[in-house]
Amino acid sequence: MGLIEQKQHFSVNLLDWYMINRRDLPWRRHNNPYFTWVSEIMLQQTRVDTVIPYFNRFIGNFPTVQALAEAPEEDVLKNWEGLGYYSRARNLQAAARQVMELHGGEIPQDKQAVFALKGVGPYTAGAILSIAFNQPQPAVDGNVMRVLSRYFLIDEDIMKGSTRVLMEELAGELIPEGRARDFNQALMELGALVCTPKAPHCLTCPVMEQCSGRIAGRELTLPVKTKAKPPRPEQRLVAIVEGRGVHRGRVLVRQRPESGLLARMWELPHVLAEPPAKAGKKAAPLADEPAMALLAGSLWAEGFAARPEGLATHAEHVFSHIVWQLQVYKCTEQSQSSELPLIAAEARAAYDAQAATKDTVATDPDGQSASTFTSTSSITSDQVERRMLTDDVEVLDNAPQIHIGKGDQLTYRWIGPEDMDKMAFPNIFLKLLSSYFAGVYDDINE
C-alpha cells in the first residue's frame, strides 16, 4: 500500500471508529465556540476527567464571553483553583475582553484573529477553528504527534519546531472534506484512549493494520522526544501563623506579587531555606531549630510577631520548572515586647548560620526573582534584629486585619475558614489551610 492509500485508510477508519466510540463530554454536547475555547484551554496539561467538573462549574458561573470578560479576576481564579497553570485563567479572561472589544463578543472565525487572542497558540487556534467552525485547520498537540509519529514511522524529534511544522502539514492533509470537526476530535481521542504513551492498545486500534510503527516494532520507542530539563528543587519554610486576640480563629496569609509565578494569588507566608539545588537533585531539609528561627526572623522582618511551635507537615508543590519542597511549621502570633529580644537572638543565630548562602538569588519559572517574595534572604541579621527591637508592634486587641509587609511590600491578611470561598489559593496552600481549619495540626503546641 502506498502513502496515499495509507493516509486514506487512516482517515476513513479513524472517523468510523470515532463515531461509535467517542466520549460524551460536556463541551461536545453543544456546538458553542465559547465552550470549545474554554475546554481547550482547560485541557492543556490536564486530564479530561479532572477538567469535567471544573468546566461545568466555570461555565455555570461564566456562561458567556461577556460574563467572563466582566467578572472580577479573583472570581475567575477562584473558579480555576486546583487546576494549576493559573496564567491560563488570566489569559483566558484577557482574551475574552479582547473578543468583547474587537469582535463584538463573537469569537472570530478568522485564523489570524483567533491566533491574536491572548493565550491562544497554534494548537488552540486550530482546535477552535476546526471544532467550533468546522474549518479544515490542523490541531496538533502531544497526543496527535504521538499518533502520527507511530502510524507514519516519523523519526524526527517532536520537541523541534521543524517537526511540529511537518506534523501540522501532515495532519492538514489527512482531514476529509467537510469533516474537520469530527476528524480532529477523533485524532485527539485516539491518542488519549488507544495510542497512549507507555502502553498503546494496538490490538483495539482502528488503524492498526497500516501502522508503520507497529509493523516495524517501534510503537514503544516512538515518538522521538528530547527529555525535558528536570525541575529545580527549592526548600522552603512555610508558616501557619495562628492568631490571638482579635485574630483568634484566623490565620495569616499573603497575596503574591502582581506579576510572575502565581501572580496575585493568596498563600501562606514562606521563605527560601537554602540556595536552590541543582536541577534533578533533592533540596536538603533544614533542621527544625534553625528553620523555626529563620522563619520567625522572616516574619519579624515583615512586621509580624510569631513564634514557631513545631513542624506541622512536609509537603511538595510541583511547577513545570521548579519544585517547592515545603517544611510547614505551626506558629503562634505574639504581642509582648519582652519576647522580642529572645526571638531576635534566635533569628540572628539562624541568619548567621546561613550567612554564606544569602547572596544566592533564585529565579522562578516565569522569570521572576524569588527575592521579590522572599526578601528576607537579602536582609542582614543586624537589620533583622534592629527591626525586631525598634519597629512598632500592634497590640493584639487593636491589630489590623490587613497589613503591608515591611520588607516585601506584599498584602497580608488574617482570614478565617469563611474567607476560603472568596480567595484564590494554589492547591498546596488550599490543602494546608483546609487541614489547619479541620484541626489536623491542633496537637502540635499542646
> What is d(CA 370, CA 174) in angstroms, rounded to the nearest whole number?
47
Question: What distance in Å separates the CA atoms of residue 18 and residue 21, rounded to the nearest whole number?
Answer: 5
Residue at 421: amino acid letter:
D
| Eight-state DSSP code of residue 262 | T
Q: Name the region of 124 (left: φ>0; alpha: ψ -120 to 50; beta: rest).
A: alpha
Partner residues linked to 38 by β-bridges: none
Looking at residue 200, its amino acid is P
Which cell numbers hold the place of 443?
496537637
CA distance 189 to 198: 16
**What is d(CA 237, CA 331) in angstroms, rounded to the nearest whole number?**
12
- Active-site residue list: 40
Kind of pairing between the strands at 251-255 and 411-415: antiparallel
Q: Which three cell numbers stand for residue 324?
A: 517547592
Question: C-alpha angle 345/348/351, rounded to 5°?
Answer: 155
Cell of 86: 493559573
Q: What are phi and psi of 291, to 5 degrees?
A: -65, -45
User: Rounded distance, CA 21 to CA 175, Å?
Assistant: 19
CB 66 within 8 A of CB 40: no
CA atoms within 13 A on the CB side of 115: 8
d(CA 187, CA 210): 16
What's CA 426's distance to the chain center, in Å? 8
Q: Are strands 232-242 and 322-333 parallel, antiparallel or unpaired?
A: parallel
